A and B are shown apart, each in its own frame.
Chain A
């Protein structure tokens, strides 16, 4: 065959019409579908409010020592100003175990001495201190529980979805059994059994919440894996001779994990609420540990006279409400973004 001359011409128009939508590094990393989810989340007013709330709590947790410096060796012990049972109102004088006075305090209040900003609870525990340092406890327990439940759920759900058949059937029936158990009651019983063995720390409650909290993730990831494993590229990987575990971890899981990951990251609010419930019922940490449920539980005996002692319920209650609301706002926005019917509308 004779070679013909390559046609030449004006190619400038061609160059201009080349793909003009720039694909950012983030989008390249996340892939188009996941990128859409992230962008969708950052555009909704509700989710932005949620992110602001969560962000505020993160800042409080990080800067807790600057907001109210710890007293004594263990910063997670709420300092006690005496031993009287009766709560004292907001703004009352702080006499014993007074923390150092940080810079912001003088600027905001104009005072040189600490007062009980939000009052004291039964036993003269400072509510403000408990709430600030309790933020750290909240994130810590929330993260530990969410990460553990997520990992357990992913592993169990993946095995179930990937191998299918009898394995799937057995695992899913176990999940069903776990799901029929009333969550908070089972967690309560388990934590109550574990506490004498392990001691009054965060661990019994964490184990209890993890044991009864993984089923949702297992179900969701299983469903996604069932759908992804039927896709052609999985068969294509098999044809190439890729090993089972590599097909599961490199080809299937990355395509299936994102919705579960997002759901898990938003579950921290619920976990903290459950944890506070256990704490409120007196299970978990020793008395005086900086933890919102614990602070709230100090109000138990004074619930009948809340017209006088409203601050012992309102402040820890509001903190919990804002924390959970922050996560839920983001969660709601997430549900909208993940809804396939909403695709292409944002």
Chain B
């Protein structure tokens, strides 16, 4: 078994808003081993990004607040580190790539200046070394004419190229963990495929662990080793990728997979959709947060919130119902 890189236990994050306290993450636990890719899937607003930002303590505070939990990175709790220590982890050991490449680069700084920033900060390079390294990195992610393009500004790059630059910046200090927050959502399908292939290639070459946040189940199937499905601030199912697609157990996972269009479906089949909207949790749920939308809902679901339990050694699920038989799980 590879070394355990990240061990998050019982993470809880809340936001104070004028409408009340929003419970965005409610006790999330997961692990990430060396060289592993974890896919995190879920609807918008289910707490995927907030979980990852909380681990790096990047939640704006106020209004956000990490209430409980641990995030052990190589045994050290990221949530208890001094600000100066965690600053040294960010970008150097754990880096992050964001969803929208159009807004993630500073419009008034040249690409070269922005790429040099983490190198100067964490690698102790001088400007000339940083420039050389930036050119290498840009070539690594497949930007032609890298030396000339360093002088360019973000508006002179296309969307796909900017996302490549973001990935190059994320990789610049050879981090142990790369958190990719929906890196392909804002791109069109062909560029998406290129970026996924690029990340897969770099993963082989640099051997880092990846957390890939997305709501695209196709991309996850392609890249992840293990998948965690999130809903209402909880992980509700977690399994190795093949197991999850072959044997989905939670009603929500079933719904997500069911709402994918099938290539062999007859023309007149209606595409399945999960009724309703994901909840905004102003109270910490006492019942299963998915109960109002669940087709397998039982009496117990309205009274108690199911815990994440193992149904096989690698497959965890949080549900009272047995979705294969429709009866209550014991």
Binding site for B on A (CB under 8 A): 23, 28, 31-33, 165, 231-233, 235-243, 250-251, 254-255
Q: Tell me the minimal C-beta distance from A202 to chain B in angstroms.
A: 36
Instruction: Give the contacting residue for B88; candidates A231, A241, A254; CB below 8 A.
Output: A241
Asked if A233 contacts B103 (CB within 8 A), the reply is: yes
With A232-B98, A236-B166, A239-B56 known, 17 other A-B pairs at CB within 8 A are A28-B153, A31-B155, A32-B155, A33-B107, A231-B103, A233-B105, A233-B106, A236-B96, A236-B105, A238-B58, A240-B91, A240-B95, A240-B169, A242-B117, A251-B106, A254-B109, A255-B106
Among candidates B104, B108, B109, B122, residue contacting A241 with C-beta atoms closer than 8 Å: B122
A243 to B117, CA, bound (A): 11
**Which B residues are CB-close (under 8 A) to A243?**
87
Decide if A232 touches B95 in the complex (CB within 8 Å): no
Known contacts A232-B98, A240-B117, A242-B121: does B107 contact A255 (CB below 8 Å)?
yes
Best-surrounded residue of B58, B92, B104, B153 (most CB of chain A within 10 A): B104
Residue in B88, B96, B122 whose beta carbon sits within 8 Å of that of A239 in the complex: B96
Residues of chain B lying within 8 A (CB to CB) of residue A165: 62
Q: B102 — nearest CB in chain A belongs to which residue?
A: A232
Q: What are the nearest 8 A-B pairs in CB distance?
A: A240-B91, A241-B90, A241-B91, A232-B103, A239-B96, A232-B104, A233-B106, A240-B118
Q: For B156, list chain A residues within 8 Å (CB).
A: 23
Interface centre among B92, B95, B106 (most CB of A within 10 A): B106
B68-112 near A? 1/0 per residue, CB < 8 Å: 000000000000000000011111100110101001111111000
Q: Which residues of chain A are near B100, meaning CB under 8 Å?
A: 232
- Tell me which residues across on chain A come within 8 A of B58, comparing CB atoms: 235, 238-239
Q: Which residue on chain B has the smallest CB distance to residue A246? A: B117
Q: Which residues of chain A are within 8 angstroms of B90 by Cβ–Cβ distance?
A: 238-241
* B118-A236 in contact (CB<8A): no
Contacts of A232 in B (CB 8 A): 98, 100, 103-104
> Looking at chain A's contact residues, is the secondary structure mostly helix, strand, loop, or mixed?
helix
Give min CB distance, B107 to chain A, whole Å: 6
Of the A-B pairs whose beta carbons lie under 8 Å apart in the complex, a sample of 30, sorted by A's number, is A28-B153, A31-B153, A32-B155, A165-B62, A232-B103, A233-B105, A233-B107, A235-B98, A235-B104, A236-B96, A236-B104, A236-B105, A236-B169, A237-B106, A238-B58, A239-B90, A240-B95, A241-B92, A241-B118, A241-B122, A242-B117, A242-B121, A243-B87, A250-B106, A250-B109, A251-B106, A251-B109, A254-B109, A255-B106, A255-B108
CA distance A235 to B105 in the complex (A): 10
Contact call A237/B108, Cβ cutoff below 8 A: no
Once the chains are docked, how many angstroms separate the CA of A28 from the CA of B98?
26
Q: How far is the CB of B298 from chain A (nearest CB, A)?
A: 42
Q: Contacts A165-B62, A236-B98, A238-B90: A31 and B108 contacting too (C-beta < 8 A)?
A: yes
Residues from chain B with Cβ under 8 Å of A241 in the complex:
87-92, 118, 121-122
Q: Scan B21-50; emit 1 where CB is below 8 A from any A CB, else 0.
A: 000000000000000000000000000000
Q: Specify which of A165, A240, A254, A255 lies most central, judged by the most chain B CB atoms within 10 Å of its CB.
A: A240
Contacts of B106 in A (CB 8 A): 233, 237, 250-251, 255
Contact partners of A251 in chain B: CB under 8 A: 106, 109
Shortest beta-carbon distance from A321 to chain B in Å: 38
Residues of B within 8 A of A236 (CB): 96, 98, 104-105, 166, 169
Given contacts A32-B155, A232-B100, contact A240 B121 (CB under 8 A): yes
What are the residues of chain A within 8 A of B121 when measuring CB–CB?
240-242
Chain A residues within 8 Å of B118, by CB: 240-241
A23 to B56, CA, bound (A): 39
B10 CB to nearest chain A CB (Å) = 24
Residue of B62, B95, B108, B117 with most partner-chain A CB within 10 A: B108
In chain B between 157 and 176, which residues have their CB closer than 8 angstroms to a CB of chain A? 166, 169
